[in-house]
Homo-oligomer: A and B are copies of this chain.
């Protein structure tokens, strides 16, 4: 059994949905189809989810919502007409939206969640309707009915394992299931959405629950590339990589696949295929548990900017048991996750994503460090980028760090930080933002263009 998920651009129009149906029906193992809300049809189009947020916000401010409602309904109408469906499905969708709008507005976050989820939910109904229309045994199933259970922490909605057993019953359905991505329900029946990109999570959860042989994630690129195509011209496609490699790449700017979505598949060792709805015969990228890393040590190079370093220096720091813990606690209490903590003998830096650091938080943190840890110096510097070389077995490859550091030296850029040692899968270089692009190009050339002439 294959679970396949189609992203926003794959289900944005009647033409796209016909491609989806062709893909689904071309392999009888494709039994469960998870769909996103209609995405962009062209570059400056607006995603249905964004239209729904706009609608919800208008409703919350007690304005007249007819215009915004119409925009959403029209998008579905356009798809329905393009697929030759009757007005009935559009009517169902419109009624559903009006019902959601009439819900209690007291908790605005819940209200917006309910509206946002309408994008996927109604698209699933529409696509199931189309499959039935063309004579295929298909069925829309709602996450509530299926038992997709989530926790009740709006700041970080996650699926609860208690739901897995009920979800696993989906594999007994005879019809092809069309399932909306992006949301689930709490124990008490409250609708909650995942983060953006959360349809990937839904697909992965279901694939894990039914123990699918494969989870296919259809999007609009042929594969995952070894480097960012907007920086590197025609980068090498990755045909096969491990979950951990995908995770490291996703962390540092590879936005192909949602981070958390890997977990359920990873836990059940279900292979994940990244494929292109618009070019389904392309081999795509297969994400698996293990690969033979002797063939290729470095599978990809990611780069991400927007990092800040907080450097703390204190003579004989390393004799103070608890110094590092107390420093990290200050960040924890300010709700700032840290990325790296390189250390010298008498100093420790905490590297964080700058987006978490407001001016007032920065001032408070520096003040607290001075007061609570009595350091000799605290220095905050931003505009750092992280360049991450990713590849299984990298740690066992003699000379790889030397090749990378030498390539960076060729650009004339300075290495501000190197972090190697915990992960077997990555080697992280901290550099100044201004040097990021030239370093990425040089490393790409070193590991992908001249791979054959190096030992």
Given contacts A324-B341, A345-B247, A402-B406, contact A419 B418 (CB under 8 A): yes
| Interface mask (A402-439 → B, CB under 8 Å = 1, otherwise 0) | 10011011001111111111111110101000000000
Indicate if A293 sits at the interface (CB-CB under 8 A): no
Min Cβ gap A385→B in Å is 13
Indicate if A395 sits at the interface (CB-CB under 8 A): yes
Stretch at the interface among A73-81, A268-276, A313-321: A313-321
Indicate if A242 sits at the interface (CB-CB under 8 A): no
Indicate if A311 sits at the interface (CB-CB under 8 A): yes
Point out the residues of chain B lying under 8 angstroms from A416, CB to CB.
Answer: 395, 421
Name the residue on B nearest A251 (C-beta).
Answer: B345
Min Cβ gap A305→B in Å is 16
Cα–Cα, bound, A156→B422 (Å): 32
Name the residue on B nearest A328 (C-beta).
Answer: B325
Indicate if A339 sits at the interface (CB-CB under 8 A): yes
Point out the residues of chain B lying under 8 angstroms from A423, CB to CB.
Answer: 343-347
This chain: copies in complex: 2
Point out the residues of chain B lying under 8 angstroms from A335, CB to CB.
Answer: 321
- Complex interface residues of chain A between 339 and 387 (CB less than 8 A to chain B): 339-349, 351
Is there contact, CB below 8 Å, between B321 and A336? Answer: yes
Name the residue on B nearest A408 (C-beta).
Answer: B402
Given contacts A315-B263, A416-B395, contact A332 B322 (CB under 8 A): yes
Point out the residues of chain B lying under 8 angstroms from A343, CB to CB.
Answer: 339-341, 419, 422-423
Q: Known A-B contacts: A247-B346, A251-B345, A418-B421. Give 6 more (CB < 8 A).
A: A247-B315, A260-B316, A263-B315, A342-B422, A348-B422, A415-B420
